[in-house]
Amino acid sequence: MKEEIKNQWRKTILEKTKIDPKYHDKVLSYLEMYIVNESLYGHVSEPISRAHWEDLWEKVMPLSLLVLEQIDMDKVEFTAYPTDTDSFRVITDDNDEHIVNEIVSVINGKINEGYNVKIYKAIQSIMKDGNDVEVMFRMGFYKNN
């Protein structure tokens, strides 16, 4: 990613979060990986729609950043590849705070058990089903030997 874009994203996106500035480069790398993967692999059989990109920037990314604010970034690494990760699903009500809390609870629970976290997508998809929301996220948990 070009340095001018990184600086713009740092000012317009990351400085508005509670993510410690010492992790901004790490999170910028994650955002770049997410966007590249979504562009290349997100919809192999069809072009990515404008609505999909709008959902990504208006819902998925802001909630992903809220998740990252609340976890121990020293225990997290980001990966551009889904290998060694699993998909997880939580069902919650259609409330952004509850969505974030459900994911943070899973991650922090594993961190408290001594695991490190490899995140492919902090939030992969959000699908509304009546009053409930199904949230998919993809990550792996591992222990250092």
Q: What SS3 state is found at 118?
A: strand
CA–CA separation, 114 and 75 (whole Å): 9
Residue 46 has pLDDT above 70, yes or no: no
- Rounded to the nearest integer, the mean pLDDT of the chain is 85
User: Which pTM was predicted?
Assistant: 0.85
Q: Residues 53-63: what's their mean pLDDT?
A: 80
- What is the pLDDT, as a whole number, of residue 77? 92
In tens, the pLDDT along 93-109 reads 888 899 999 999 999 99
- What is the pLDDT, as a whole number, of residue 78? 92
Number of Cβ within a 10 Å radius of residue 51: 8
Q: What SS3 state is found at 103?
A: helix
